[in-house]
């Protein structure tokens, strides 16, 4: 039996020596490649980027929150938070990144927005690594925190920050759980002094998620878009219980506040107007997808569930 088997085996080996040697050579080659590759990868993972350029302001905030702030050396023209970034050099912004300047200043990681494909192509050509960011829902903030933690060598800190933010969000959820959810129109833009060109958060996206966490029911739930322009007729027909209006002003005195809310008074049959629940949420950065988002959510929750 054993003999038989042996002969058979030898036969098999004999007939297929060449392919086996070839395969062995190939696999050695692949193994070496994988070995060195993983070594390079391990090496690069061990040295996190030291010259990060962030072209996306909310990602800059996330970088600072997870402890990667000292590695950030240049930001976009629109970056103002945290205050440390105001003294950093700027390298353009979303539609007009200064590609030449970026490449010449030799970053070792560039945070780009998903639509900046031309910049990304240039970076690929010059072998400069980049982190491709795109806005998503509320959960995406935590996802981005963790991904950036891994990319910048702050895995633990990013995990802590992400968990803390999630816990704060869950705490708001728990606080409003079981309470009646007012049907809410979340307005983020309109022509000053009138009810023209009203833009509101619709059935999905970041603002929508914030509103849901804060215990509101989006009155435009059925519109599968992040934002919608909405007519006065639609507002009258949808009868929101609360109208939340985002206003970027730092502070609004009573006169300014009246000027902002006055145009709504024309729609006096809307419950929100009749019950004086047109609420202006003011302050910059209320809705920045980053560590400060919890302040915005808490403001919304306080407005919806006083």
The contact set with other proteins (CB under 8 A) reads: 78, 94-96, 189, 191-197, 220, 222-223, 225, 228-234, 236-237, 239, 259, 263, 266-269, 274
Q: Are the beta carbons of 244 and 281 closer than 8 angstroms?
A: yes
Q: Are the beta carbons of 53 and 93 closer than 8 angstroms?
A: no
Residue closer to other proteins by CB (options 215, 289) is 289
Residue closer to other proteins by CB (options 234, 280) is 234
Minimum CB–partner distance for residue 234 and other proteins (Å):
5
Among candidate residues 201, 195, 216, the one with its CA nearest the CA of residue 263: 195
Backbone angles phi, psi at 247, to 5 degrees: -135, 130
Residue closer to other proteins by CB (options 164, 225) is 225
Residue closer to other proteins by CB (options 50, 135) is 135
How far is Cα 293 from Cα 191, in angstroms, rounded to an integer? Answer: 26
Q: Where are the alpha helices (DSSP H) in the chain?
A: 2-15, 17-46, 57-65, 99-104, 117-125, 139-152, 155-176, 206-213, 232-238, 254-261, 271-274, 293-304
Residue closer to other proteins by CB (options 113, 165) is 113
Minimum CB–partner distance for residue 278 and other proteins (Å):
14
Chain-centroid distance, C-alpha 41: 26
Minimum CB–partner distance for residue 269 and other proteins (Å):
4
Minimum CB–partner distance for residue 212 and other proteins (Å):
19
Among candidate residues 202, 257, 260, the one with its CA nearest the CA of residue 229: 202
The pair of structure tokens assigned to 243 is: 């109208």
The pair of structure tokens assigned to 97 is: 């990144």
Minimum CB–partner distance for residue 159 and other proteins (Å):
32
Residue closer to other proteins by CB (options 91, 148) is 91
Residue with the two structure tokens 């909310």: 58
Minimum CB–partner distance for residue 41 and other proteins (Å):
37
At CA 197, angle to CA 191 and CA 202, rounded to 5?
A: 120
Minimum CB–partner distance for residue 207 and other proteins (Å):
13
- Asked if omega into 26 is within 30° of 0 (cis), the reply is no
Residue closer to other proteins by CB (options 179, 266) is 266
Beta-carbon contacts of residue 205 (< 8 Å; ≥ 6 apart) = 135, 137, 225, 226, 227
Minimum CB–partner distance for residue 275 and other proteins (Å):
11
Residue closer to other proteins by CB (options 93, 213) is 93
Put residue 178 in one of left, alpha, beta given phi > 0 → left and psi -120 to 50 → alpha: left
């Amino acid at each position: 039996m054993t003999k038989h088997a042996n002969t058979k085996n030898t036969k098999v080996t004999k007939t297929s020596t060449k392919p086996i040697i070839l395969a062995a050579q190939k696999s050695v080659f692949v193994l070496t490649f994988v070995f060195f590759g993983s070594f390079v990868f391990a090496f690069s993972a061990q040295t996190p980027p030291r010259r990060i350029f962030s072209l996306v302001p909310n990602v800059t905030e996330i970088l600072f929150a997870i402890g990667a702030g000292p590695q950030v050396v240049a930001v976009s023209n629109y970056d103002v938070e945290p205050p440390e970034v105001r003294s950093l050099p700027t390298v353009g912004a979303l539609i007009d990144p200064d590609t030449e300047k970026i490449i010449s200043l030799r970053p070792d990681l560039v945070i780009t927005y998903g639509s900046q494909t031309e910049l990304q192509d240039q970076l690929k050509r010059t072998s400069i690594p980049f982190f491709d960011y795109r806005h998503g829902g509320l959960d995406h903030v935590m996802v981005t925190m963790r991904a950036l933690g891994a990319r910048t060598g702050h895995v633990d800190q990013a995990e802590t920050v992400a968990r803390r933010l999630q816990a704060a969000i869950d705490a708001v959820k728990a606080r409003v759980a079981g309470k009646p959810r007012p049907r809410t129109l979340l307005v983020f833009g309109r022509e000053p002094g009138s009810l023209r060109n009203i833009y509101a958060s619709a059935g999905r996206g970041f603002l929508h998620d914030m509103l849901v966490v804060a215990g509101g029911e989006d009155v435009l739930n059925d519109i599968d878009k992040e934002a919608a322009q909405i007519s006065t007729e639609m507002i009258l027909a949808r009868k929101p219980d609360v109208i939340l209006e985002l206003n970027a002003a730092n502070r609004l005195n009573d006169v300014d506040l009246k000027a902002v809310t006055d145009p709504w008074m024309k729609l006096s049959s809307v419950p929100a107007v009749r019950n004086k629940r047109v609420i202006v949420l003011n302050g910059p950065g209320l809705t920045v997808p980053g560590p400060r988002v919890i302040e915005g959510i808490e403001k919304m929750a306080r407005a919806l569930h006083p």
